[in-house]
Amino acid sequence: METTPQITFHGVDASPNLTSIINEKIAKLDQTYDRITSCRVTVERRTSKGHKGKLYKVAVELEVPGGAIIVNRKPGDLNAHEDPRVAIRDSFDAALRQLRDHQRKVGGVHVKSHPDRLRGTVVRVFADEGYGFAKMTDGREVFFDRASVTGEGWEQLDLNCEITFSLMQGEKGLYAANVTLSG
């Protein structure tokens, strides 16, 4: 974070315990998204008509590249926000959700890529042992086993069958995964 977080208390004593909880929550936000430029947190004790006791409202404001994240939590469950720690938790949970949404929008989430599908021809099958070999279009041979053949394909495998598969790296070298019969 570029600036020191600001924590303000209104109608509440600035206890070291609450300040510590808030600083831990801010650190979690900063770990989630390290491009937060500033953070302001306000803890306010309020009274509500028809409600005995005090309610807490916690506002969290984050400045991030491309915008701001503002959580201004009003007490939902009246009894739950009689405890300032619960109000802090709820507000920071909402800020974390908004921060993750922002991160996804600006491209902070990386989508797993899937391996390319390759073509080959079955050149050897050892049905009793449950494995075989296919020749790829570049001439190399690749191992496959019964578990890597999808659906009912194992029973239909024959020599010279056309297959498609994903090439994977295993402990003993390359192997064919997700093997399917072609046409």
Spell out the domain ranges in the chain: 6-105, 117-181
What pLDDT does residue 113 have? 63
Interval 112-133 mean pLDDT: 88
Does position 112 have pLDDT exceeding 70, yes or no? no
For residue 117, CA distances in Å to 18, 44, 182 come to 55, 58, 12
What number of other Cβ atoms are within 10 A of residue 61's Cβ? 16
Q: What are phi and psi of 43, to 5 degrees?
A: -110, 125
Give one word for 137, left, alpha or beta, with left for phi > 0 and alpha for psi -120 to 50.
alpha
What pLDDT does residue 35 have? 87
Percent of the chain with pLDDT over 70: 87
pLDDT in tens, 139-164: 999 999 998 898 888 888 889 999 99
Q: Does the domain made of 6-105 have the CATH classification 3.30.450.20?
A: no
**Domain 117-181: CATH architecture, name and number where available:** Beta Barrel (2.40)
pLDDT in tens, 61-75: 999 888 899 998 565
Pairwise pLDDT comparison (107 vs 77), residue with the higher score: 107
What pLDDT does residue 116 have? 83
Judged by average pLDDT, the poorest of 4-8, 45-49, 118-122, 151-155 is 45-49
Does position 33 have pLDDT exceeding 70, yes or no? yes
